[in-house]
Structure 1
Amino acid sequence: MVITGSDLASIQRLKQQLQSAFHMKDLGTLHYFLGLEVHSTFKGILLHQHKYATDLISMAGLESANPVDTPLEVNVKYHRDDGDLLPDPLLYLQLVGSLNYLTITRPDISFAVQQVSQFMHSPRHLHLAAVRRIIRYLKGTSHRGLFFPTGITPKLSAYSDADWAGCPDTRRSVTGWCMFLGSSLISWKSKKQARVSKSSTESEYRAMSAACSEIIWLRGLLAELGFPQTEPTSLYADNTSAIQIVANTVFHERTKHIEVDCHSIRDAYDDRLIALPHVSTQFQVADILTKAVPRPRHQFLVSKLMLVDQPHQFEGGCE
């Protein structure tokens, strides 16, 4: 159990109440919790899962394997019927399940894990090779984690993107979005859409609508925590047509087939809960959550997600 807050006296009273009702041991300052490692300095907090990742590498038997620079090969599509079935899928299921838990602090592998998670019911040798590549990527970046700097402005912003018809088997698109509080990444998603989109604009619109739902929830949470968002939250998208559909109150013929719940984003826009600034594709941070990208772009986007390799000032543990 983790207890946190800004009032030390209230925290102490809560701990005394819990100790009076339960057998409880106070472990002091948080530094390890359910595989999550926490390192604090005056510059901020780093969350990573180095030990968990190391154990995963051992489980896969890849201790001596060479690391790779990206979690997935670019322009490689994985089909559900490619190659021969694995005679025993147990290892595949264990590895993918562990990788899913690792995405708590590693958004840079979220898309890759989403891809291999689709084949849990009948994994094949090619799918296992993709899983092994993700783990080889982790081998070279096991100390990497999310950094939360001190003194940030608690202003919420978001990015949304979509890879149109990205699934080769169903031609459903992939949604990706990420939420920032100041410069700190606090929420993200990489998920295949529930419907086939008839155009790239429609797939981007669906992704924006999904991101909008998360924004509304986060705005409510931040208000409860004492950080109300007084201005519309910027939702950055790189598809001008999708932005225009939201901003234009006239229902065009080509938007009638989009479900009513997708059009709920219009209400949020009209109520000034969100703003829709355009961002160039080059600076679309959510791109890393929708597709495999080349090494230079992957490294650029990783830095934008505030993912850092554990610096020397964190190696001594909590201060």
Structure 2
Amino acid sequence: MGSVDKTFFLLSRGGDTLIVQIYVDIIFGGSSHALVSSFAEQMSREFEMSLMGPKRTFVHQAKYTRDILKKFEMGDSKPMTTSMSTNTALDADEDGEAVDQKEFRWMIGSLLYLMATRPDIQFAVCLCARYQASPRTSHRQNVKRIFRYLKFTPELGLWYSSGYSLSLRGFSDADHAGCRIDRKSTSSTCQLLGTSLVWRFCALERLQVEGVDNALIKGEIESQWTGLIDLLV
């Protein structure tokens, strides 16, 4: 276990090394094909994973996606090509009709779990999750749109390959005071190891003026622990 990051693990065996990072996603690799394959087999027995050959892994939750569509009676809904409209401006909607809070939280919780392999829905889900305390019809409609998007893209997931460069790249962005409701900034960062996504983050900034700077700071902090991989491979 890492001394700084408690979700970062190293296993040394017979001169070979296995690297595992566990947060929501499970990212792993190593210097020995046998060691990596053994770990992959153990994980496949516990989680839904598709192993695409010795150097490629596709992690998805297609079965879970179909299960929650059925659970919330969205299996026959009309598919949507996006999870949220670009014109959406959710607010508390205090004058709107209240909906079942328990069901709304159940829907949000199901989507939060799915975000482990679906970063494309992260922003839309987290925006809707802000209104769990007092959900309205408008909030539920936006959540249902996310489900309709999942109906259109049930088999999307994360692709990991060890056959390419292991160079570490980071990206940061922020829309300064872009929120239409409270003028907060939305910042996001991601880290790529070669062509594989190994870290992502998205949040509304509390400090509006420093939104862009905060995005860069977050990217720098995250790259510090991710950079450990470059020293080990």
| TM-score in terms of structure 1 length | 0.59
Q: What residue number does 2:206 align with? A: 194
Residue 46 of structure 2, aligned match among 30, 33, 57: 33
1:175 correspondence with 2:187 = yes
CA displacement at 1:63 relative to structure 2: 0.9
Q: Does structure 1 conserve the Cα–Cα contact (< 8 Å) formed by 2:99 and 2:137?
A: no
Structure 2 CA distance for partners of 1:84 and 1:38, relative to 1, 3 Å = same
**Are the counterparts in 2 of residues 32 and 38 from structure 1 also a CA contact under 8 Å?**
no
CA shift for structure 1 position 81:
2.4
The answer (yes or no) to whether the contact 2:99–2:135 under 8 Å persists in 1 is no
Query: Unmatched 5+ residue regions in structure 2?
Result: 1-25
Structure 1 residues 9 and 176: alpha-carbon distance in aligned structure 2, compared to 1, 3 A threshold: closer
**2:93, 2:138 within 8 Å by CA — same for their partners in 1?**
no
Instruction: Report deviation, 1:205.
Output: 1.8
Cα displacement (A) at 1:82? 5.3
Q: How does 1:199-210 map to 2 (within 5 A)?
A: 202-210=210-218
Matched with 2:164 is: 152
More contact order relative to length (CA 8 Å, sep ≥ 6): 1
Determine which structure has the larger strand proportion and give its number: 2
1:163 matches 2:175: yes
1: CA distance, partners of 2:56 / 2:35:
23
Distance 1:171 1:221, change over 3 A: same
Question: Structure 1 residues 82, 129: CA separation in 2 closer, same or farther (over 3 Å shift)?
Answer: farther
SS at structure 2 position matched to 1:116: helix
Deviation at 1:105, TM superposition (A): 0.9
**Is 1:99 aligned to residue 111 of structure 2?**
yes
Note the residue ranges of structure 1 that are not aligned, 5 or more in a row.
16-25, 228-319
- From 88, 111, 129, give the equivalent of 2:123: 111
Partner of 1:243: none
Matched, 1:53 2:61: no
CA contact (8 A) 1:80 1:169 kept: no
Q: What code does the residue aligned with 1:122 have?
A: S
Query: How has the CA–CA distance of structure 1 residues 128 and 154 changed in structure 2, closer, same or farther, with 3 Å as cutoff?
Result: same
Q: Distance in 1 between matches of 2:191 and 2:77?
A: 34
Cα deviation, 1:53-84, whole Å, max 9, x if unaligned, reads 11111122111101100000112211122552
**What is the aligned partner in structure 1 of residue 77 from structure 2?**
65
Deviation at 1:167, TM superposition (A): 2.8
Q: What is the alpha-carbon distance in structure 1 between the residues aligned to residue 58 and residue 34 of structure 2?
A: 25
Look up the SS of the partner of 1:169 in the other structure.
Answer: coil
1:143 aligns with 2:151: no
Asked if 2 retains the 8 angstrom alpha-carbon contact of 1:57 and 1:135, the reply is yes
- Cα deviation 1:118-170 (Å, max 9, x = unaligned): 11111111011010000110111111111112312111101111122233332
1:120 is matched with: 132
Counterpart position of 2:98 = 86
The answer to whether the 8 A contact 2:171-2:189 is kept is yes
**TM-superposed deviation, 1:8:** 7.6
> C-alpha separation between the residues in 2 aligned to 1:210 and 1:126?
32
TM-score, normalised by the number of residues in structure 2: 0.78
Aligned residues between the structures: 207
Deviation at 1:196, TM superposition (A): 2.1
Name the CA shift for 1:27/1:72 in 2 (closer, same or farther; >3 Å).
closer
Q: Which secondary structure does the structure 2 equivalent of 1:186 belong to? A: strand
The structure-2 alpha-carbon separation of the partners of 1:9 and 1:141, relative to structure 1 and needing over 3 Å to count, comes to closer
From the CA coordinates, give the structure whose radius of gyration is larger.
1
Measure, in 2, the Cα distance between the counterparts of 1:76 and 1:217. 35
